[in-house]
Amino acid sequence: MGPVLVADEITMTYLGGQRSLEALECVSFQVGAGEFLCIVGPSGCGKSTLLLVLGGLVQPTSGKVYIGGELLTAPRRQIGFVFQKANLMPWRTVLRNVTLPLEIKGLKAEEAGQQARELLKLVGLEGFEDAYPHELSGGMEQRVAIARALIHDPAILLLDEPFGSLDALTREHMNLELLRIWQAKRKTVVMVTHSIQEAIFLADRILVMSSRPGHIEATFSVPLHRPRRLEMLYGAEFGVLSKRVRQAIH
């Protein structure tokens, strides 16, 4: 089977009035079915831009993205997106935040509700269906955002620093939860993070991007077996790889 996602020589230049800004320069890589890929790199190197391009939300200046062998020209239901901020609708309950994409599509509230309930259970929010966003912790909000991204049953999940604003312990817990969901749903995941530790803990493979214009500086395979366990964070293998990844980011 071929790769699920292909980025082929992606270049992105943002055009301003007087000046233009080269954000990405010839970025190429492939992601296999069911793979968990993490992208790390310094702030401003174009990680979010790259993810927007992969999601069909922004057209690159040049280069192409292929999803399942087909050229990507616009956003698709096959792709779910989770951003750093959950961006929930404050006047809608948890359940109705998750059903929103289906309601927009015209699905009956009843049917949409059933799917949303199952996903909320999957992300560990059973019992919070009728809560409002202001009643949730940051970690819970991101769980809702993940459930909402899964509602179309996308083959690919794109995550842009989804746990970046959480405290370290909650983040650790969310990492384990994300692996559980990934394993249960067998999705292909591309996740941007600025945490080397998070990338190694989660990923099968890590792409290191270097500063502007962003390009891929190095690729690492993560040799840790699965399921991943928190004690791996303190193992020798983990330490060695952390150092190598750190050295690849200038």
Pick one of 48, 61, 170, 211: the residue that binds Mg ion (CB under 5 A): 48
- 197 makes contact, choosing from ligand ADP, Mg ion, none, with CB < 5 to 8 Å by partner type, with none
Q: Taking CB under 6 A as the rule, does residue 18 contact ligand ADP? A: no
Q: Taking CB under 6 A as the rule, does residue 221 contact ligand ADP? A: no
Based on CB atoms, which residue is closest to Mg ion, 47 or 96? 47
For residue 29, which amino acid is it?
Answer: F
Buried b (16+ CB within 10 A) or exposed e, 7-41: bbebbbeeeeeeeeeebbbebebebeebbbbbbbb
Please report how close the Cβ of residue 85 comes to ligand ADP at its closest, in angstroms.
13
Based on CB atoms, which residue is closest to ligand ADP, 41 or 60? 41
For residue 63, which amino acid is it?
Answer: G
Based on CB atoms, which residue is closest to ligand ADP, 14 or 132? 14
* Cα-based torsion angle of the residue sequence 24, 25, 30, 35 in order, rounded to the nearest 10 degrees: -40
Residues 6+ apart with CB under 8 A from 183: 226, 227
Please report how close the Cβ of residue 43 comes to ligand ADP at its closest, in angstroms.
5
Residue nearest to Mg ion (CB): 48
Based on CB atoms, which residue is closest to Mg ion, 47 or 187? 47
Pick one of 23, 79, 86, 123: the residue that binds ligand ADP (CB under 6 A): 23
Pick one of 29, 31, 37, 49: the residue that binds ligand ADP (CB under 6 A): 49
> In the chain, what is the greatest distance between 2 CA atoms, to the nearest angstrom?
53
Asked if 152 and 104 count as a contact pair (C-beta separation under 8 A), the reply is: no
Residues 6+ apart with CB under 8 A from 161: 84, 192, 193, 194
The residues of the shown chain that bind Mg ion, judged by CB under 5 A, are: 47-48
